[in-house]
Amino acid sequence: MIQKKQVAILGSSGSIGTQALAVIEANPQHFEVAVLTVNSNAALLIEQARKFLPNAVVIADESKYATVKNALEALPIKVYAGSKAIEQVVQMDELDIVLTAMVGYAGLAPTIKAIEAGKNIALANKETLVVAGQLITSLAQSKGVNIYPVDSEHSAIFQCLAGEWNNKIEKIYLTASGGPFRGKTTDELKSVTKAQALKHPNWTMGAKITIDSATLMNKGLEVIEAKWLFQLQPEQIDVIVHPQSIIHSIVQFTDGSMKAQMGLPDMKLPIQYALAYPNRIVSDFPRFNFLDYPQLTFNQPDRKTFRCLDLAFEAMAVGGNRPCVLNAANEIAVAAFLEDKISFLQIPELIEKTLSQVENSAGTTLESLVAADFESRAVANSLL
C-alpha cells in the first residue's frame, strides 16, 4: 500500500497553490492535504477547506479569522490566523512536505521554521533563496532536509541532474520566454500599460511574477536561486531567451555534453515532480508534439533595455545583503507599478537607486537580513 504524503500548501489561493491542489485532487492515492494557508482570500480558503478537509487552515489576515472560523465550524478543521500561526503549523508532526508558494519575502520565515522542524520543502518561493540562500542551504544541510525546486527552470535543472550527482557541472542555461515585451525598444517601453505587462505569452502566473517576467527580474531572481540550489559560481550560470518555452533549462557537463528538459509550459508538471520525488507518477497533462513546434529558437537577452537582469547578476556577484536589498526594492517597485504610481521603466531605476542608498554589508544572519529588508523597503518607499 502506498503511504500518502501529507502536504502543507503555503499560499493555496495563488497560481501555484491552486495548481498544486489540482495535482493532489488528481492523485488522491499519493497525496493528502494537511494544511492550507492564504494571505487574505477567505472565500477561496473556505471553499478549498470544505473540499480537501485539511487538518488545519491559516488566514494571515487576522481581520478575516471570524469569517473563516464560522464557515468551517461544523467541520473537524482547526482554524488559525496571523503570520506567526503559519510559522507554527508548518512544524506539525504529520507533515511530509511543505510547498512554499507564498509570494515574496513573506515566504522566508515559514520556510525556515519548516526546515528547522525537519520537513522537506517543495520550493516555489524563489525569494527565500534570493534573500537568504546561504542561511537556507546551510540549515537544510544540517537538518537533512531536501529542497525540491518547483520553478520550471530549476525543476528542469534538477531533472537533468538526476543520476549525475557526482558529475561536475560546467554551466547551466536558464531559459526565458522574454516576456510580453521581447524585442521592444526602450522608447516603446515608455508607454506600456499594466494590462500589457500582465499578458504573458506562455505562462499563467500571479501578478507579481508576471511583472517580474516582463522586466526580466524574474530571470534575475532565478539566477540567484540557481546559485544556491545547485552550489554554482556566477560564471557557471547563463540566461538564454527561448520564446517557445519548450526547453525549460539546460545543463552542460565538463565533457561538453548537454542535457535539456522539455515539455509544454504547464506548472502542474514541476509541482507534481517535486511533490512525488523520487517517483514519476502518471499524469493526463497534454503531451508535447514535435510537429507542432517545427522550430525552437534561441537568442541573447537584451540586457540594455531590460536592466533588471544585470542588476540581479551584480547583486549575486557582490553577495552579502545585496540580493536581499534587490528583492525588497523590486517588491516595492512592482507593487508601485501595479498601483499606477510609477511607469514600467521606473522599476529598474527605483531598484538601482535603492541599492546605491542601502549600505553594503557582508552579514547574512537572519537578523541582519531582516534589518536589510526593512531598511530597503523604507528607502524604496521614500524614493517613490
* 3-class DSSP state of 266: coil
> What phi, psi does 258 have (nearest 5°)?
-125, 145
Q: Is the dihedral of CA 141, 324, 128, 365 positive or negative?
A: positive
Do 186 and 305 belong together in one domain?
A: yes
Specify the number of domains making up the chain: 2
Residue 354 lies in a domain: no
**Distances 25 to 21, 151, 155, 283, 284 between C-alpha atoms, Å:** 6, 21, 21, 12, 13
Residue 70 lies in a domain: yes
Could you tell me if 132 and 111 are in contact, meaning their C-beta atoms sit under 8 angstroms apart?
no
> What phi, psi does 326 have (nearest 5°)?
-55, -50
Do 123 and 159 belong together in one domain?
A: no
Residue 114 lies in a domain: yes
Could you tell me if 95 and 35 are in contact, meaning their C-beta atoms sit under 8 angstroms apart?
yes
Over residues 109-118, the mean pLDDT reads 97
- Structural domain boundaries, residue 129: 5-149
The domain boundary residue, chosen from 293, 318, 343: 318
Do 40 and 103 belong together in one domain?
A: yes
Structure confidence at residue 1 (pLDDT): 64
Do 45 and 72 belong together in one domain?
A: yes
pLDDT digits (tens, 9 = 90+) for 31-72: 999 999 999 999 999 999 999 999 999 999 999 999 999 999
Do 80 and 108 belong together in one domain?
A: yes
pLDDT digits (tens, 9 = 90+) for 87-112: 999 999 999 999 999 988 899 999 99
Residue 279 lies in a domain: yes
Task: Tell me which residue of 286, 280, 282, 243 sits closest to 267, measured CA to CA.
Answer: 286
DSSP 299: B
pTM of the model: 0.94
* 3-class DSSP state of 239: strand
How far apart are the C-alpha atoms of 277 and 269, rounded to whole Å? 12
Do 88 and 166 belong together in one domain?
A: no
* CATH code at position 71: 3.40.50.720
